[in-house]
Chain A
C-alpha cells in the first residue's frame, strides 16, 4: 500500500489505540445525512409510487377520446383487440350531473361503464366497500364514499339525478322529472380525485341520460405489464384516425406527476445540506489534524514525501470517512425503513394518534419504494462532498514547507 494511504488509515486507526474521536464524529455526521436522505427519498418514492398506482388503477393505462362522441367504438375495440400490447379495453361515457338526496344537492362526475368489460381495465368491484358491483343495472348507481357521505346516502337509498340534457329540455318549458336511481354500492379507491365526488352507472344508462344514442366518450385501455404506456400511446396515435387521440396516464396527469418529482427533488436539495454540514465537520476535523500534525507533516516532507502525495493522503481520509459514513448511512436507512411501520405504530400508540393517521392521511402504513438511482446519487454526492472536504486540509498540508513545519514548536 502506498505510504499516503497507509498513513491516512493509520491516522484514523492508530496501532494499539482506539479510532480518533474526530474521525468517529465525522463518520456519524455523514451517516446521519445519508440515512435521512435515503429514508426521505425512499418514502417520497413510496408515496409517488402509491399515487401512480392509484392513477393507473382508476384511469387505465391509456384513454382514447375525441373530445366529443365516438360512434365507431365497436370498430376501435375490434382493432384494439388485435394489438398484442392491449390486455383489455372498455368503452365509457362521462360527464356531470346534478344529484339530490333528501334535499342535499351535489354535482358529481358520473361515469357510465360497460359491466362486462370494466373490471378488466378498472377493477371497480374491488373498491366497493358497501353493497356490490354485481347489483349495478340500468336503474341503479354506485356512489363514491365522500359523495355518499355529503348527501347522506347509503346502500338502498334512492337518489334523484338531473342531467344537462334534462336541464336543456326544462329551458324549453318541457316538464321533465328527475331520474330516480337506487344506490347499490359505495366505493372507495384511496385516490381522492376519484373518491371525492364521483358516481358510476351503466354505460346504457349514461347513454340515455346524456342522449348519446350508442355513442361513447372514450375507450380506456389496460396494457400488459412492462408495456410503455407513453410509447404505445404514440403508436396508437399513428394508427387510429383523427380526431381520436390516445393519451397515456402520464400525459393525463403530467402536471401532478411533475409536482411529485419536484417535491422529491426539493427534499433532496434541502436534505443534501445535512451532508454538506457533515462535510464541514470533516474539513474542520481534518484541518485540526493537519495543524496538530504540522511537525509530522514536516518530517514526512523531510524524508521524501511529496506535496501531491500529502494531498492524496488527506483527500483519501475524506473519501474514506465519506465511504464509511455512506455505507453505514445506507445500512441504517435500510434497517429503519424495514421497521418503519413498527416505528410509526409504536409512535402512534405512544401518542394515541393511530386513528388520526388513518383519518387524515388515509393510511396507517408508510409506503416505500427503493430506487437504485436514488441510492447512487446520494452515495456519489456524499463521497464527492467528503472528498472535497478533505481537499482544503490536504492543500494546507501540501503547501507547508517541511523546513518551516519542523521549526514549529
Chain B
C-alpha cells in the first residue's frame, strides 16, 4: 500500500519488526518492535550505541535478513511475500547500499565498479555507461575512472561506492556508517555529497551514523535504544 506524506510517495514502511539472536545459549532481543517509514527524496538518520541493532535493522530493511516478527514494505510490497530470488531482483532496481568498508571489487577499475551494479541488474546499456560517467564526475572522480580502486584513498573509495549505489537509480539508499573509516574532513565531504546526490536523484536515504552532526543534516533523525526506535 502506498501512502502519501505531504507531496512525497512513501517508499518504505517498517512495522513492528523484532529480531532476536542466540549467543552462547542466551537469546538477545536486538529489535523490539521497530516502526519507521520513509518518503521519496527524504533522508533519515539512525543513531545508536554499538550493538543496538542498527546494522541488523538495515539488513532487514534490505531483505538480507528476515525479521522474527513484523513487516517491511518496499513501495507497498511486503518483503516476506517475496522469495529470496525475487527480493534479490527487486534489490537490483530499488535499493542502493553504502557500507563503512566500501566493499569495492579490487579486480575492477573505478568505472567498472560503478557499472557493476547495472551488470547485476541485467544488461548494461549505453545509457548506464553514460550515467556511471556522470555520477563519477558528480562525486569528483571523473578523471579517475580507469584507476584501480586500490590506488584510491578511503574518501575516494567511498565516493565510488556512493556512485555504485546510485547508478541503478534506486528509490532507497541504505548507508551503514559510511564515514566510519574516514577522517573528519573527508567524512564531511562524503556526507555532504551523499545527501546532495540523494536529493538530486529523489532517492530516500537511511543513514546509520554515530555522528550527531551528520544526523542533524538529515530530514528526520531517529535513535535506536534498547531495541526500540526513539
Contacts and interface: CB of A to CB of B under 8 A. Distances in A.
Contacts, number: 79
A110 to B, nearest CB: 77
B120 A15 contact: no
Interface in B80-94: 84-85, 88-93
Contact of B65 (A15, A17, A304, A403): A403
A296 B105 contact: yes
A402 B88 CA distance: 11
A14 B85 CA distance: 28
A16 B105 contact: no
A300 interface: yes
A305 B148 CA distance: 23
B117 interface: yes
B99 A406 contact: yes
A3 interface: yes
A360 interface: no
Interface stretch (B39-47, B106-114, B204-212, B221-229): B106-114
Contacts of A17: 107, 148
A298 B65 CA distance: 12
A15 B103 contact: no
B88 A304 contact: yes
Given A7-B105, A15-B112, A305 B120 contact: yes
B148 A16 contact: yes
A303 B107 contact: no
Given A7-B105, A295-B103, A406-B99, A302 B148 contact: no
A309 to B, nearest CB: 8
Given A15-B112, A299-B105, 7 more contacts: A11-B107, A298-B103, A301-B64, A303-B120, A305-B120, A403-B59, A403-B64
Interface of B: 55, 59, 62, 64-65, 84-85, 88-93, 95-97, 99, 101, 103, 105-109, 112, 116-117, 119-121, 146, 148, 164
27 contacts: A3-B116, A3-B120, A7-B119, A10-B105, A11-B107, A14-B108, A15-B112, A16-B148, A295-B103, A296-B105, A299-B103, A302-B62, A302-B64, A302-B91, A302-B97, A303-B97, A303-B164, A304-B88, A304-B90, A304-B91, A304-B121, A305-B88, A305-B120, A306-B85, A406-B64, A406-B99, A407-B55
